Amino acid sequence: MAEHRENKCPHHGMSRRGFLTSVGAGAVVAVSVGGAPEAPAQEVLAAGNAVTLRLRVNGSTRKLLVEPRWNLLYVLRDVLGLTGTKIGCERGECGACTVLIDGKTRYACMVLAVEAEGHDITTLEGLMDGEQLGPVQQAFADEDAFQCGFCTPGQIMSVEGLLRHTPNPTIEQIRLGISGNLCRCAAYPHIFKAAAKAAELKKKGVVS
Protein backbone atom coordinates (compact mmCIF):
# COMPACT_ATOMS: atom_id res chain seq x y z
CA MET A 1 0.00 0.00 0.00
CA ALA A 2 1.30 3.42 -0.92
CA GLU A 3 2.23 5.49 2.08
CA HIS A 4 0.47 8.91 2.35
CA ARG A 5 2.96 11.75 2.65
CA GLU A 6 2.76 15.54 2.94
CA ASN A 7 5.21 17.69 0.99
CA LYS A 8 8.02 18.62 3.33
CA CYS A 9 10.16 21.71 3.49
CA PRO A 10 13.55 20.26 2.40
CA HIS A 11 15.57 22.13 5.03
CA HIS A 12 13.44 22.06 8.18
CA GLY A 13 11.14 19.11 7.77
CA MET A 14 8.01 21.32 8.06
CA SER A 15 5.01 20.51 5.89
CA ARG A 16 3.66 23.13 3.51
CA ARG A 17 0.41 23.18 5.43
CA GLY A 18 2.26 23.84 8.67
CA PHE A 19 4.37 26.54 7.06
CA LEU A 20 1.33 28.43 5.71
CA THR A 21 -0.45 28.11 9.05
CA SER A 22 2.51 29.57 10.92
CA VAL A 23 2.87 32.47 8.48
CA GLY A 24 -0.82 33.34 8.80
CA ALA A 25 -0.64 33.27 12.58
CA GLY A 26 2.42 35.53 12.51
CA ALA A 27 0.61 38.09 10.39
CA VAL A 28 -2.30 38.17 12.83
CA VAL A 29 0.10 38.71 15.74
CA ALA A 30 1.90 41.51 13.90
CA VAL A 31 -1.35 43.37 13.32
CA SER A 32 -2.60 42.82 16.85
CA VAL A 33 0.54 44.30 18.38
CA GLY A 34 0.52 47.34 16.14
CA GLY A 35 2.85 46.12 13.42
CA ALA A 36 0.83 47.85 10.66
CA PRO A 37 1.85 51.50 10.09
CA GLU A 38 -0.58 54.07 11.44
CA ALA A 39 -2.01 56.80 9.18
CA PRO A 40 -0.62 60.23 10.07
CA ALA A 41 -2.97 62.32 12.16
CA GLN A 42 -4.63 65.19 10.27
CA GLU A 43 -5.74 68.46 11.75
CA VAL A 44 -9.52 68.72 11.82
CA LEU A 45 -11.20 72.08 12.28
CA ALA A 46 -14.04 72.06 14.78
CA ALA A 47 -17.40 72.65 13.14
CA GLY A 48 -18.11 75.67 15.30
CA ASN A 49 -14.95 77.59 14.42
CA ALA A 50 -15.95 80.72 12.48
CA VAL A 51 -13.86 83.13 10.45
CA THR A 52 -14.60 86.68 9.36
CA LEU A 53 -15.27 86.97 5.67
CA ARG A 54 -15.99 89.87 3.33
CA LEU A 55 -17.96 88.91 0.25
CA ARG A 56 -18.78 91.31 -2.56
CA VAL A 57 -22.21 90.19 -3.77
CA ASN A 58 -24.24 92.06 -6.39
CA GLY A 59 -22.10 95.17 -5.95
CA SER A 60 -22.27 95.32 -2.15
CA THR A 61 -19.65 94.13 0.33
CA ARG A 62 -20.99 92.04 3.20
CA LYS A 63 -19.05 91.20 6.35
CA LEU A 64 -19.93 87.74 7.62
CA LEU A 65 -18.96 85.13 10.16
CA VAL A 66 -18.78 81.77 8.41
CA GLU A 67 -17.43 78.32 9.08
CA PRO A 68 -14.59 77.33 6.71
CA ARG A 69 -16.56 74.25 5.58
CA TRP A 70 -19.58 76.25 4.33
CA ASN A 71 -19.98 76.44 0.59
CA LEU A 72 -21.03 79.56 -1.27
CA LEU A 73 -24.47 78.15 -2.00
CA TYR A 74 -25.26 77.82 1.71
CA VAL A 75 -23.96 81.30 2.52
CA LEU A 76 -25.89 82.96 -0.31
CA ARG A 77 -29.19 81.29 0.57
CA ASP A 78 -29.15 80.71 4.32
CA VAL A 79 -26.94 83.55 5.52
CA LEU A 80 -27.66 86.32 3.01
CA GLY A 81 -31.18 85.27 2.05
CA LEU A 82 -30.51 85.30 -1.71
CA THR A 83 -32.75 82.36 -2.52
CA GLY A 84 -32.73 82.90 -6.29
CA THR A 85 -29.73 80.56 -6.27
CA LYS A 86 -31.35 77.13 -6.10
CA ILE A 87 -30.28 73.92 -4.35
CA GLY A 88 -30.23 71.01 -6.78
CA CYS A 89 -27.86 68.07 -6.77
CA GLU A 90 -25.24 69.77 -4.55
CA ARG A 91 -22.46 67.93 -6.38
CA GLY A 92 -21.79 70.07 -9.46
CA GLU A 93 -23.97 68.24 -11.95
CA CYS A 94 -27.33 70.02 -12.43
CA GLY A 95 -26.39 73.71 -12.62
CA ALA A 96 -29.35 74.99 -10.56
CA CYS A 97 -26.96 76.90 -8.27
CA THR A 98 -25.04 78.67 -11.06
CA VAL A 99 -23.75 82.15 -10.20
CA LEU A 100 -21.18 84.44 -11.77
CA ILE A 101 -17.80 84.93 -10.12
CA ASP A 102 -15.80 87.66 -11.80
CA GLY A 103 -18.23 87.38 -14.72
CA LYS A 104 -17.71 83.65 -15.23
CA THR A 105 -20.24 80.91 -14.48
CA ARG A 106 -19.54 78.76 -11.44
CA TYR A 107 -21.48 76.19 -9.44
CA ALA A 108 -22.00 77.75 -6.01
CA CYS A 109 -22.26 74.30 -4.42
CA MET A 110 -18.70 73.53 -5.49
CA VAL A 111 -17.10 76.75 -4.20
CA LEU A 112 -16.24 77.31 -0.55
CA ALA A 113 -17.39 80.70 0.66
CA VAL A 114 -13.85 81.50 1.82
CA GLU A 115 -12.61 80.90 -1.74
CA ALA A 116 -14.94 83.59 -3.06
CA GLU A 117 -13.51 86.36 -0.90
CA GLY A 118 -11.95 89.11 -3.01
CA HIS A 119 -14.06 88.26 -6.06
CA ASP A 120 -17.20 89.79 -7.54
CA ILE A 121 -20.21 87.51 -7.12
CA THR A 122 -23.41 88.00 -9.09
CA THR A 123 -26.62 86.12 -8.33
CA LEU A 124 -29.99 86.12 -10.06
CA GLU A 125 -31.08 89.06 -7.88
CA GLY A 126 -28.12 91.08 -9.12
CA LEU A 127 -29.43 91.06 -12.71
CA MET A 128 -32.42 93.19 -11.77
CA ASP A 129 -32.69 96.98 -11.54
CA GLY A 130 -35.03 97.37 -8.61
CA GLU A 131 -38.18 95.56 -9.74
CA GLN A 132 -37.17 95.73 -13.40
CA LEU A 133 -36.08 92.43 -14.95
CA GLY A 134 -32.73 92.22 -16.65
CA PRO A 135 -32.64 91.42 -20.39
CA VAL A 136 -31.98 87.69 -19.92
CA GLN A 137 -34.75 87.39 -17.36
CA GLN A 138 -37.14 89.29 -19.64
CA ALA A 139 -36.23 87.12 -22.61
CA PHE A 140 -36.94 83.95 -20.61
CA ALA A 141 -40.36 85.33 -19.68
CA ASP A 142 -41.13 86.42 -23.26
CA GLU A 143 -40.11 83.09 -24.79
CA ASP A 144 -41.81 80.97 -22.12
CA ALA A 145 -38.45 79.30 -21.51
CA PHE A 146 -39.47 77.26 -18.47
CA GLN A 147 -42.04 74.81 -17.18
CA CYS A 148 -41.57 73.94 -13.50
CA GLY A 149 -39.06 76.80 -13.30
CA PHE A 150 -36.73 75.18 -10.78
CA CYS A 151 -33.70 75.15 -13.10
CA THR A 152 -34.54 78.57 -14.59
CA PRO A 153 -32.33 80.73 -12.30
CA GLY A 154 -29.28 78.63 -13.16
CA GLN A 155 -30.17 78.68 -16.87
CA ILE A 156 -30.50 82.47 -16.78
CA MET A 157 -27.14 82.87 -15.04
CA SER A 158 -25.43 80.64 -17.62
CA VAL A 159 -26.92 82.64 -20.49
CA GLU A 160 -25.88 85.87 -18.76
CA GLY A 161 -22.33 84.58 -18.40
CA LEU A 162 -22.28 83.49 -22.03
CA LEU A 163 -23.45 86.88 -23.34
CA ARG A 164 -20.91 88.78 -21.28
CA HIS A 165 -18.04 87.26 -23.24
CA THR A 166 -19.89 86.28 -26.44
CA PRO A 167 -22.42 89.03 -27.23
CA ASN A 168 -23.52 87.50 -30.55
CA PRO A 169 -23.55 83.73 -29.96
CA THR A 170 -24.41 81.16 -32.58
CA ILE A 171 -26.87 78.40 -31.74
CA GLU A 172 -23.91 76.05 -31.26
CA GLN A 173 -22.35 78.50 -28.78
CA ILE A 174 -25.65 78.81 -26.95
CA ARG A 175 -25.96 75.03 -26.70
CA LEU A 176 -22.42 74.80 -25.34
CA GLY A 177 -22.94 77.74 -22.98
CA ILE A 178 -25.84 76.09 -21.17
CA SER A 179 -24.58 72.52 -21.47
CA GLY A 180 -23.80 72.49 -17.75
CA ASN A 181 -27.45 73.12 -16.85
CA LEU A 182 -30.03 70.34 -16.78
CA CYS A 183 -33.76 70.84 -17.38
CA ARG A 184 -35.83 67.78 -16.54
CA CYS A 185 -38.83 69.42 -18.26
CA ALA A 186 -36.83 69.52 -21.54
CA ALA A 187 -37.61 73.17 -22.28
CA TYR A 188 -34.37 73.51 -24.22
CA PRO A 189 -35.84 74.80 -27.54
CA HIS A 190 -37.43 77.74 -25.70
CA ILE A 191 -34.26 78.30 -23.66
CA PHE A 192 -32.25 78.54 -26.90
CA LYS A 193 -34.73 81.10 -28.24
CA ALA A 194 -34.58 83.06 -25.00
CA ALA A 195 -30.77 83.20 -25.16
CA ALA A 196 -30.90 84.56 -28.72
CA LYS A 197 -33.54 87.13 -27.76
CA ALA A 198 -31.52 88.20 -24.71
CA ALA A 199 -28.58 88.91 -27.01
CA GLU A 200 -30.84 91.17 -29.10
CA LEU A 201 -32.16 92.97 -26.01
CA LYS A 202 -28.63 93.63 -24.81
CA LYS A 203 -27.70 95.04 -28.21
CA LYS A 204 -30.63 97.45 -27.94
CA GLY A 205 -29.14 98.83 -24.75
CA VAL A 206 -31.08 96.89 -22.13
CA VAL A 207 -28.08 96.00 -19.96
CA SER A 208 -28.26 94.28 -16.59
Confidence of residue 29 (pLDDT cuts 50, 70, 90): very low
Confidence of residue 8 (pLDDT cuts 50, 70, 90): very low
Domains of the chain with bracketed CATH: 49-126 (3.10.20.30), 128-208 (1.10.150.120)
pLDDT of residue 4: 45
Strand boundaries in 102-155, DSSP class E: 104-107, 120-122
Of the segments 4-8, 12-16, 91-95, which one has the largest average pLDDT value?
Answer: 91-95
Q: pLDDT higher for 14 or 169? A: 169
pLDDT tens digits along 176-203: 999 999 999 999 999 999 999 999 999 9
3-state secondary structure of 47: coil
CA distance 108 to 73: 5
CA distance 100 to 90: 17
pLDDT of residue 79: 97
Share of the chain above pLDDT 90, in %: 74
pTM of the model: 0.76
pLDDT for residue 34 is more than 80? no
| Angle, vertex CA 110, rays to CA 174 and CA 119, nearest 5 | 80
CA distance 41 to 36: 15
pLDDT tens digits along 129-139: 999 999 999 99
Average pLDDT of span 146-167: 97
pLDDT tens digits along 93-104: 999 999 999 999
pLDDT of residue 49: 85
pLDDT of residue 46: 61
pLDDT of residue 205: 77
